[in-house]
Amino acid sequence: MENVLALDVGGTTTRVGVFERRPEKPVRVALQTYGTREFPTIEAMATAFLRDAGISSSSLSAACIGAAGPVLDGVATLTNTPVRVDARKVADTLGLPRVSLLNDLEALAYAVPVLSSDEVCVLQHGRANESGAIGVIAAGTGLGEAVLYRLGERFIVKASEAGRADFAARTERDITVLRTLTREYGRAAAEQVVSGSGLVNIHRALQRSDCTARIDMAAADAPAAVADSALYGRCPTCVETLDTFVEAYGAEAGNLALRTVATGGVYVGGGIAPKILEALRRGAFLSAFSMKSPFTTLLQSIPVKVILNSEAGLLGAAHFCSIA
Protein backbone atom coordinates (compact mmCIF):
# COMPACT_ATOMS: atom_id res chain seq x y z
CA MET A 1 0.00 0.00 0.00
CA GLU A 2 1.08 3.60 -0.63
CA ASN A 3 1.99 6.00 2.17
CA VAL A 4 1.02 9.67 2.30
CA LEU A 5 2.21 12.63 4.36
CA ALA A 6 -0.32 14.69 6.33
CA LEU A 7 0.10 17.94 8.28
CA ASP A 8 -2.36 19.75 10.53
CA VAL A 9 -0.91 23.26 10.94
CA GLY A 10 -2.62 25.10 13.78
CA GLY A 11 -2.09 28.48 15.35
CA THR A 12 -0.17 26.94 18.27
CA THR A 13 0.78 23.35 17.42
CA THR A 14 1.33 21.36 14.24
CA ARG A 15 0.90 17.61 13.88
CA VAL A 16 2.79 15.79 11.16
CA GLY A 17 2.14 12.17 10.26
CA VAL A 18 2.60 9.46 7.68
CA PHE A 19 -0.38 7.26 6.92
CA GLU A 20 -0.93 4.11 4.93
CA ARG A 21 -3.35 5.08 2.18
CA ARG A 22 -6.64 3.16 2.37
CA PRO A 23 -10.00 4.17 0.84
CA GLU A 24 -12.01 3.22 3.93
CA LYS A 25 -9.75 4.89 6.54
CA PRO A 26 -6.04 5.76 6.54
CA VAL A 27 -3.84 3.92 9.03
CA ARG A 28 -1.24 5.90 10.96
CA VAL A 29 2.39 4.85 10.48
CA ALA A 30 4.23 7.67 12.29
CA LEU A 31 3.25 10.87 14.12
CA GLN A 32 4.93 13.85 15.77
CA THR A 33 3.69 17.11 17.26
CA TYR A 34 5.66 20.37 17.10
CA GLY A 35 5.21 23.99 18.03
CA THR A 36 4.02 25.72 14.86
CA ARG A 37 6.85 28.27 15.06
CA GLU A 38 9.46 25.71 16.11
CA PHE A 39 10.94 25.59 12.59
CA PRO A 40 11.64 28.46 10.18
CA THR A 41 9.34 26.91 7.55
CA ILE A 42 6.77 24.16 7.30
CA GLU A 43 8.89 22.36 4.71
CA ALA A 44 11.80 22.35 7.20
CA MET A 45 9.50 20.83 9.80
CA ALA A 46 8.32 18.12 7.40
CA THR A 47 11.91 17.36 6.40
CA ALA A 48 12.98 16.99 10.04
CA PHE A 49 9.99 14.77 10.79
CA LEU A 50 10.71 12.38 7.92
CA ARG A 51 14.41 12.23 8.84
CA ASP A 52 13.68 11.47 12.51
CA ALA A 53 11.03 8.90 11.57
CA GLY A 54 13.40 7.18 9.16
CA ILE A 55 11.00 7.62 6.24
CA SER A 56 12.19 8.61 2.78
CA SER A 57 10.11 11.18 0.93
CA SER A 58 10.54 9.01 -2.18
CA SER A 59 8.30 6.41 -0.52
CA LEU A 60 5.40 8.90 -0.35
CA SER A 61 2.85 9.21 -3.14
CA ALA A 62 1.27 12.50 -2.02
CA ALA A 63 0.82 14.95 0.83
CA CYS A 64 -2.03 17.05 2.19
CA ILE A 65 -1.73 20.01 4.55
CA GLY A 66 -4.52 21.53 6.61
CA ALA A 67 -3.64 25.12 7.57
CA ALA A 68 -5.48 27.47 9.94
CA GLY A 69 -6.07 30.26 7.46
CA PRO A 70 -7.63 31.04 4.08
CA VAL A 71 -6.08 29.19 1.14
CA LEU A 72 -5.47 31.20 -2.02
CA ASP A 73 -3.61 29.78 -5.06
CA GLY A 74 -1.94 27.06 -3.02
CA VAL A 75 -0.72 29.40 -0.30
CA ALA A 76 -2.06 30.02 3.22
CA THR A 77 -1.02 32.56 5.82
CA LEU A 78 -2.21 31.49 9.24
CA THR A 79 -4.84 33.78 10.72
CA ASN A 80 -3.48 33.90 14.28
CA THR A 81 0.23 33.14 13.74
CA PRO A 82 2.63 34.75 11.21
CA VAL A 83 3.36 31.47 9.42
CA ARG A 84 3.07 30.99 5.66
CA VAL A 85 2.37 27.61 4.05
CA ASP A 86 3.16 27.19 0.34
CA ALA A 87 2.17 23.85 -1.21
CA ARG A 88 4.58 24.28 -4.13
CA LYS A 89 7.56 24.85 -1.83
CA VAL A 90 6.68 21.77 0.22
CA ALA A 91 6.40 19.71 -2.99
CA ASP A 92 9.71 21.02 -4.33
CA THR A 93 11.56 20.53 -1.04
CA LEU A 94 10.35 16.97 -0.51
CA GLY A 95 10.24 15.99 -4.17
CA LEU A 96 6.58 14.98 -3.99
CA PRO A 97 4.42 14.71 -7.13
CA ARG A 98 1.32 16.14 -5.44
CA VAL A 99 0.80 18.33 -2.38
CA SER A 100 -2.72 19.56 -1.57
CA LEU A 101 -3.34 22.53 0.73
CA LEU A 102 -6.66 22.83 2.56
CA ASN A 103 -8.06 25.11 5.21
CA ASP A 104 -7.69 23.32 8.56
CA LEU A 105 -11.47 22.99 8.96
CA GLU A 106 -11.68 21.46 5.48
CA ALA A 107 -9.15 18.85 6.60
CA LEU A 108 -11.05 18.24 9.84
CA ALA A 109 -14.32 17.90 7.94
CA TYR A 110 -12.85 15.23 5.65
CA ALA A 111 -12.29 13.10 8.77
CA VAL A 112 -15.98 13.14 9.73
CA PRO A 113 -17.13 10.36 7.34
CA VAL A 114 -14.45 7.96 8.66
CA LEU A 115 -14.72 8.65 12.40
CA SER A 116 -15.78 5.64 14.46
CA SER A 117 -18.36 5.76 17.25
CA ASP A 118 -15.68 5.73 19.96
CA GLU A 119 -14.08 8.83 18.44
CA VAL A 120 -17.11 11.03 19.15
CA CYS A 121 -19.34 11.91 22.10
CA VAL A 122 -23.02 12.39 21.34
CA LEU A 123 -24.56 15.53 22.85
CA GLN A 124 -27.85 15.24 20.95
CA HIS A 125 -28.92 12.08 19.15
CA GLY A 126 -31.39 13.68 16.78
CA ARG A 127 -32.31 12.03 13.48
CA ALA A 128 -29.66 12.41 10.79
CA ASN A 129 -30.78 13.02 7.23
CA GLU A 130 -28.31 10.90 5.25
CA SER A 131 -28.46 13.28 2.28
CA GLY A 132 -28.27 16.43 4.43
CA ALA A 133 -25.33 18.77 4.87
CA ILE A 134 -23.02 18.31 7.86
CA GLY A 135 -21.65 21.30 9.78
CA VAL A 136 -18.25 21.28 11.50
CA ILE A 137 -17.22 23.89 14.07
CA ALA A 138 -14.00 23.93 16.06
CA ALA A 139 -12.69 26.31 18.72
CA GLY A 140 -9.03 26.28 19.69
CA THR A 141 -6.48 29.02 19.12
CA GLY A 142 -9.15 30.45 16.80
CA LEU A 143 -12.61 29.48 15.60
CA GLY A 144 -13.20 27.61 12.35
CA GLU A 145 -16.30 26.40 10.54
CA ALA A 146 -16.89 24.25 7.46
CA VAL A 147 -19.68 22.27 5.84
CA LEU A 148 -19.80 18.90 4.06
CA TYR A 149 -22.22 18.39 1.17
CA ARG A 150 -22.98 14.89 -0.06
CA LEU A 151 -22.45 14.41 -3.78
CA GLY A 152 -23.44 10.88 -4.72
CA GLU A 153 -21.21 8.50 -2.77
CA ARG A 154 -18.73 11.16 -1.65
CA PHE A 155 -18.60 14.42 0.27
CA ILE A 156 -17.48 17.84 -0.92
CA VAL A 157 -16.22 20.20 1.79
CA LYS A 158 -16.47 23.98 1.72
CA ALA A 159 -14.42 26.01 4.17
CA SER A 160 -15.25 29.44 5.57
CA GLU A 161 -13.74 32.20 7.66
CA ALA A 162 -16.84 32.43 9.84
CA GLY A 163 -14.73 32.84 12.96
CA ARG A 164 -14.02 36.40 11.88
CA ALA A 165 -17.71 37.19 11.32
CA ASP A 166 -19.49 39.40 13.87
CA PHE A 167 -20.26 38.02 17.32
CA ALA A 168 -24.02 37.84 17.91
CA ALA A 169 -24.82 38.79 21.51
CA ARG A 170 -27.89 37.02 22.96
CA THR A 171 -27.93 37.76 26.70
CA GLU A 172 -27.08 40.60 29.06
CA ARG A 173 -23.76 38.89 29.81
CA ASP A 174 -23.05 38.68 26.09
CA ILE A 175 -23.77 42.39 25.77
CA THR A 176 -21.24 43.12 28.52
CA VAL A 177 -18.65 41.11 26.59
CA LEU A 178 -19.67 42.79 23.32
CA ARG A 179 -19.20 46.27 24.83
CA THR A 180 -15.75 45.39 26.14
CA LEU A 181 -14.60 43.99 22.80
CA THR A 182 -16.01 46.82 20.68
CA ARG A 183 -14.41 49.36 23.00
CA GLU A 184 -11.02 47.65 22.62
CA TYR A 185 -11.11 46.44 19.00
CA GLY A 186 -13.80 48.47 17.26
CA ARG A 187 -15.99 45.41 16.75
CA ALA A 188 -16.44 41.95 18.22
CA ALA A 189 -15.75 38.85 16.13
CA ALA A 190 -17.13 35.42 17.01
CA GLU A 191 -13.55 34.16 17.34
CA GLN A 192 -12.83 36.75 20.05
CA VAL A 193 -15.44 35.00 22.22
CA VAL A 194 -15.45 31.36 21.09
CA SER A 195 -11.74 30.42 21.27
CA GLY A 196 -8.95 30.08 23.80
CA SER A 197 -8.34 33.82 23.81
CA GLY A 198 -12.12 34.23 23.98
CA LEU A 199 -12.13 32.66 27.45
CA VAL A 200 -9.63 35.32 28.54
CA ASN A 201 -11.68 38.09 26.88
CA ILE A 202 -14.88 36.94 28.58
CA HIS A 203 -13.16 36.70 31.96
CA ARG A 204 -11.78 40.22 31.60
CA ALA A 205 -15.20 41.59 30.65
CA LEU A 206 -17.02 39.87 33.52
CA GLN A 207 -14.34 40.09 36.22
CA ARG A 208 -15.67 41.01 39.63
CA SER A 209 -14.12 41.42 43.07
CA ASP A 210 -14.97 37.77 43.88
CA CYS A 211 -12.42 36.39 41.38
CA THR A 212 -10.26 34.13 43.53
CA ALA A 213 -8.39 32.18 40.86
CA ARG A 214 -5.41 34.55 40.64
CA ILE A 215 -4.65 33.55 37.06
CA ASP A 216 -2.02 35.35 35.01
CA MET A 217 -4.21 36.30 32.05
CA ALA A 218 -1.14 37.06 29.93
CA ALA A 219 0.16 33.49 30.28
CA ALA A 220 -0.19 31.01 27.41
CA ASP A 221 -2.08 28.58 29.66
CA ALA A 222 -4.57 31.18 30.91
CA PRO A 223 -7.55 29.77 28.93
CA ALA A 224 -6.96 26.28 30.34
CA ALA A 225 -6.53 27.71 33.83
CA VAL A 226 -9.85 29.59 33.59
CA ALA A 227 -11.64 26.47 32.36
CA ASP A 228 -10.12 24.25 35.06
CA SER A 229 -10.98 26.77 37.77
CA ALA A 230 -14.56 26.86 36.51
CA LEU A 231 -14.95 23.08 36.22
CA TYR A 232 -13.76 22.64 39.81
CA GLY A 233 -15.84 25.56 41.09
CA ARG A 234 -12.86 27.45 42.48
CA CYS A 235 -13.86 30.91 41.31
CA PRO A 236 -17.33 32.44 40.65
CA THR A 237 -16.03 34.67 37.86
CA CYS A 238 -14.39 31.67 36.14
CA VAL A 239 -17.64 29.70 36.45
CA GLU A 240 -19.57 32.57 34.87
CA THR A 241 -16.89 32.88 32.18
CA LEU A 242 -17.15 29.23 31.20
CA ASP A 243 -20.95 29.37 31.27
CA THR A 244 -20.87 32.35 28.90
CA PHE A 245 -18.35 30.61 26.64
CA VAL A 246 -20.40 27.39 26.46
CA GLU A 247 -23.59 29.27 25.61
CA ALA A 248 -21.82 31.35 22.95
CA TYR A 249 -20.28 28.18 21.48
CA GLY A 250 -23.67 26.47 21.35
CA ALA A 251 -25.31 29.53 19.82
CA GLU A 252 -22.67 29.78 17.08
CA ALA A 253 -22.95 26.04 16.37
CA GLY A 254 -26.70 26.56 16.00
CA ASN A 255 -26.08 29.51 13.67
CA LEU A 256 -23.91 27.23 11.52
CA ALA A 257 -26.66 24.61 11.48
CA LEU A 258 -29.22 27.18 10.34
CA ARG A 259 -27.01 28.79 7.70
CA THR A 260 -26.18 25.44 6.11
CA VAL A 261 -29.38 23.52 7.00
CA ALA A 262 -27.12 20.87 8.53
CA THR A 263 -29.70 18.12 8.85
CA GLY A 264 -26.92 15.54 8.52
CA GLY A 265 -25.50 16.64 11.86
CA VAL A 266 -23.15 19.10 13.51
CA TYR A 267 -19.69 18.03 14.71
CA VAL A 268 -17.82 20.03 17.34
CA GLY A 269 -14.05 19.71 17.01
CA GLY A 270 -10.97 21.59 18.13
CA GLY A 271 -8.84 21.32 21.23
CA ILE A 272 -11.19 22.93 23.74
CA ALA A 273 -14.38 20.85 23.46
CA PRO A 274 -13.00 17.51 24.75
CA LYS A 275 -11.44 19.31 27.74
CA ILE A 276 -14.73 20.90 28.81
CA LEU A 277 -16.96 18.00 27.83
CA GLU A 278 -18.59 17.97 31.26
CA ALA A 279 -19.71 21.58 30.78
CA LEU A 280 -20.94 20.94 27.23
CA ARG A 281 -23.14 18.08 28.45
CA ARG A 282 -24.93 20.09 31.14
CA GLY A 283 -27.53 21.49 28.75
CA ALA A 284 -26.63 25.15 28.21
CA PHE A 285 -24.79 24.37 24.96
CA LEU A 286 -27.76 22.55 23.43
CA SER A 287 -30.24 25.10 24.72
CA ALA A 288 -28.33 27.91 23.01
CA PHE A 289 -27.93 25.69 19.93
CA SER A 290 -31.63 25.03 19.47
CA MET A 291 -33.57 27.96 20.95
CA LYS A 292 -33.91 29.83 17.65
CA SER A 293 -37.62 30.20 16.96
CA PRO A 294 -39.27 29.32 14.61
CA PHE A 295 -36.71 26.56 13.93
CA THR A 296 -36.31 25.13 17.43
CA THR A 297 -37.87 21.79 16.48
CA LEU A 298 -35.64 21.50 13.40
CA LEU A 299 -32.52 22.20 15.45
CA GLN A 300 -33.55 19.73 18.14
CA SER A 301 -33.71 17.03 15.44
CA ILE A 302 -30.10 17.55 14.32
CA PRO A 303 -27.47 15.17 15.75
CA VAL A 304 -24.72 17.02 17.62
CA LYS A 305 -21.43 15.25 18.36
CA VAL A 306 -18.10 16.25 19.90
CA ILE A 307 -15.00 14.91 18.13
CA LEU A 308 -12.78 13.25 20.74
CA ASN A 309 -9.93 12.24 18.42
CA SER A 310 -7.25 14.93 18.83
CA GLU A 311 -5.69 13.78 15.54
CA ALA A 312 -8.88 14.19 13.50
CA GLY A 313 -7.49 17.08 11.42
CA LEU A 314 -4.47 14.99 10.50
CA LEU A 315 -6.69 11.99 9.74
CA GLY A 316 -8.85 14.15 7.47
CA ALA A 317 -5.83 15.41 5.55
CA ALA A 318 -4.65 11.84 5.04
CA HIS A 319 -8.13 10.74 3.97
CA PHE A 320 -8.25 13.54 1.43
CA CYS A 321 -5.12 12.06 -0.19
CA SER A 322 -6.98 8.77 -0.53
CA ILE A 323 -10.09 10.17 -2.20
CA ALA A 324 -8.86 13.18 -4.18
Place 207 in a pLDDT band, splitting at 50, 70 and 90.
confident
- The number of C-alpha atoms within 13 Å of 193 and in the hemisphere containing its C-beta is 33
pLDDT at residue 80 greater than cutoff 90: no
- Enumerate residues 6+ apart whose C-beta is below 8 A from 108: 66, 136, 138, 144, 146, 269, 307, 312, 313, 316
Average pLDDT over residues 71-80: 90
Q: Are residues 10 and 121 in the same domain?
A: no
Q: Are residues 301 and 317 in the same domain?
A: no
C-alpha 300/C-alpha 181 separation (Å) is 31
Q: Are residues 250 and 317 in the same domain?
A: no
pLDDT digits (tens, 9 = 90+) for 93-152: 999 999 999 999 999 999 999 999 999 999 999 999 999 999 999 999 999 999 999 988
* Structural domain boundaries, residue 46: 3-104+311-323
Average pLDDT over residues 183-211: 91
- Enumerate residues 6+ apart whose C-beta is below 8 A from 40: none
Q: Are residues 64 and 183 in the same domain?
A: no
Q: Are residues 220 and 269 in the same domain?
A: yes
Q: Are residues 301 and 152 in the same domain?
A: yes
Whole-number pLDDT of residue 216: 85
Whole-number pLDDT of residue 153: 83
pLDDT digits (tens, 9 = 90+) for 14-61: 999 999 988 789 999 999 999 999 999 999 999 999 999 999 999 999
pLDDT digits (tens, 9 = 90+) for 209-264: 667 778 888 898 999 999 999 999 888 999 999 999 999 999 999 999 999 999 99
Whole-number pLDDT of residue 204: 92
Number of domains in the chain: 2
Q: Are residues 133 and 155 in the same domain?
A: yes
In a domain, 109, yes or no: no
Whole-number pLDDT of residue 259: 97
Q: What is the phi/psi pair of residue 172, to 5°?
A: -60, -40
C-alpha 48/C-alpha 245 separation (Å) is 38
Q: Are residues 99 and 160 in the same domain?
A: no
Q: Which residues pair with 77 in a beta bridge?
A: 84
SS3 291: coil
pLDDT at residue 74 greater than cutoff 90: yes
Q: Are residues 206 and 295 in the same domain?
A: yes
Q: Are residues 206 and 237 in the same domain?
A: yes
- Which of 84-91's residues contact partners 24+ apart within 8 Å by CB, and which partners? 85/9, 85/42, 89/41, 89/43, 90/42, 90/43, 90/46, 90/63, 90/65, 91/63
**Cα angle: 184, vertex 186, 189; to 5 degrees:** 95
Sheet holding 13-20, edge to edge: 27-35, 13-20, 3-9, 60-67, 99-103
In a domain, 110, yes or no: no
| Domain of residue 247, CATH code | 3.40.367.20
Report the DSSP pairing between strands 99-103 and 304-307. unpaired
Question: pLDDT: is 159 or 194 the higher one?
Answer: 194
